Structure 1
Amino acid sequence: MRTDDDFVAHVADRLAALPGVVAVSLGGSRAQGTHEPDSDWDFALYYRDHFDPAGLRAVGWPGEVSELGSWGGVFNGGAWLTIDGRAVDVHYRDLTVIEYELAEAEQGRFRWEPLAFHLAGIPSYLVVGELAVSRVLRGELPKPGFPEAMRTVAPPIWRRQADLGLRYARAAFAPRGRVTETAGALATAAMQTAHAILAARGEWVTNEKRLLEGAGLREMDAIIARLTPDPDVLAEQIDAARQILESAETLEPATGH
């Protein structure tokens, strides 16, 4: 079994050798030092304009290798692999797209995209944030800071989406005793508000795993746990959630995020 350092070097070398790849990075909790013993390993291979996943598939690592674009949007594909007994994610990243999204973010422009495993979806600037928090292993990559324009523009957009979701839940779900729909609306609004809070602080978000902790919104768990099919209870908890989320902007940054 390779040591962690040898393992990272081995994977980086193999990825960097693939046709079209110009840089390789290590991201996620492993790059930031916040990983657990069973955390997976997140690598990204950067190419410009074209990459053929068949090259990665030909390496022979067991797992699933997607085609370009199969994950949709800026998060355009990757692989779930097992390498030396370790769970490894490999993300495909087109540098031409990254440069465009960075230029957009610097002007305070972004769009929202749905993505599997993300309740609130993702902002298009997420792939720029990956660069900011990752460790470059091979090649050269930019290290962007959080754009000042985005600190102003993004928070009200996220908060507006959260507010609309809660209003709809209050009007359409609560009176009908819809527990599941209400729980979904509350969870989504919490994630959206967390995006708003971290954007206002100038902190990058790359996934939702620690998003509520980072925004200080873990108390939303108690709100959701109190839901019952009683319409009055649902209405009360939606109102309680609104109070928590609307006042959350005064929270101090969480340490370790």
Structure 2
Amino acid sequence: MTDTPAARAVPALSDEAFLGHVADRLAALPAVSAVTLGGSRAQGLHTAGSDWDLAVYYRGPFDPARLRALGWEGEVGELGAWGGGVFNGGAWLTIDGRRVDVHYRDLDVVEHELAEARAGRFHWEPLMFHLAGIPSYLVVAELAVNRVLRGTLPAPRYPEALREAAPPVWRQQAAMTLRYAKGAHAPRGQLTEVAGALATAAAQTAHAVLAERGEWVTNEKRLLTRAELRGLDPLIVSLSPDPAALRDAVSRAAALLGLPE
């Protein structure tokens, strides 16, 4: 069925019928082994206007052209188009009047990162829209919190080895971020750069806090709230371009985040 503006204005299917229809179409794509629902809808935190986050787990060669050929309105990216790494691309679509994101997940990569996480190992990657970037175990977190719609996937518990290994890595990054801001940006009165560093360090520290708790993180949308670090907000609001004030603000941020200067 071809999408038209009129058809998109009012969804024709119930949510469950819509989800089943889309999952069936995605699961039928060559190389796809499983399809999941993620994001706020998988965790019961969505609103009526929330988009739908789906992921296709494939093994071997996956061709985005097959997804494009389904005829859904939107943009279908190539593999690696979203920066490469573990978060290796996807599509932004409109289906039956609903906004749908489809993420590509290479099962060989996911299984490797699962084994690494269980051994307490991970690496950091930059990713658009994420202040602190992402840990490679993000794809493992998705296995734990997403709802499997088609196929079979593991549902890992948070590895104890990762709980021990991840927090000091994140805290070191946060401390270095603040140290550079205090030494390079604050003396020049660079308010914007200092504000950005405080926000980044807060996100990095939040990753450490949640790793200590053994709580999975899949994005930054509620990261500071979950880590109870919203106390940094008033400090950022009060920033001024005075070098001495900026240096003091960095010191206060370090204290709030429990970081060494």
TM-score normalised to structure 2 length: 0.93
Q: Which runs of 4+ in 1 moved over 6 A?
A: none
- Aligned match of 2:216 in 179, 204, 229? 204
In angstroms, what is the RMSD of aligned CA positions? 0.9
1:120 equivalent in structure 2: 132
**How much does 1:36 deviate?**
2.0
Q: Distance in 2 between matches of 1:138 and 1:79?
A: 19
For residues 193-223 of structure 1, give each alpha carbon's deviation from its aligned partner in whole angstroms, at most 9, with x where no partner exists.
Answer: 0000000100000000000011001111111
**How much does 1:48 deviate?**
0.6
1:22 equivalent in structure 2: 33
Q: Distance in 1 between matches of 2:71 and 2:240?
A: 50
**How much does 1:176 deviate?**
0.7
Q: Distance in 1 between matches of 2:13 and 2:111?
A: 35
Q: Residue 9 in 1 paired to residue 55 in 2?
A: no
Structure 1: runs of 5+ lacking an equivalent: 248-257
Q: Distance in 2 between matches of 1:97 and 1:150?
A: 18
1:120 partner amino acid: A
Q: Is the Cα contact below 8 Å between 1:50 and 1:94 reproduced in 2? A: no
Kindly, what percent of the aligned residue pairs are identical? 69
Q: Distance in 2 between matches of 1:224 and 1:38?
A: 30
Structure 2: runs of 5+ lacking an equivalent: 1-11
2:34 partner amino acid: A
Q: State how 1:231-242 maps to structure 2 within 5 Å.
A: 231-242=243-254
2:59 equivalent in structure 1: 48
For residues 125-171 of structure 1, give each alpha carbon's deviation from its aligned partner in whole angstroms, at most 9, with x where no partner exists.
Answer: 00010010000000101101111000000000000000001011111
Q: Distance in 2 between matches of 1:39 and 1:227?
A: 33
2:178 equivalent in structure 1: 166
For residues 76-117 of structure 1, give each alpha carbon's deviation from its aligned partner in whole angstroms, at most 9, with x where no partner exists.
Answer: 010011111111110000111111000001111000000001
Q: Residue 101 in 1 paired to residue 113 in 2?
A: yes
Q: Is the Cα contact below 8 Å between 1:79 and 1:91 reproduced in 2? A: yes
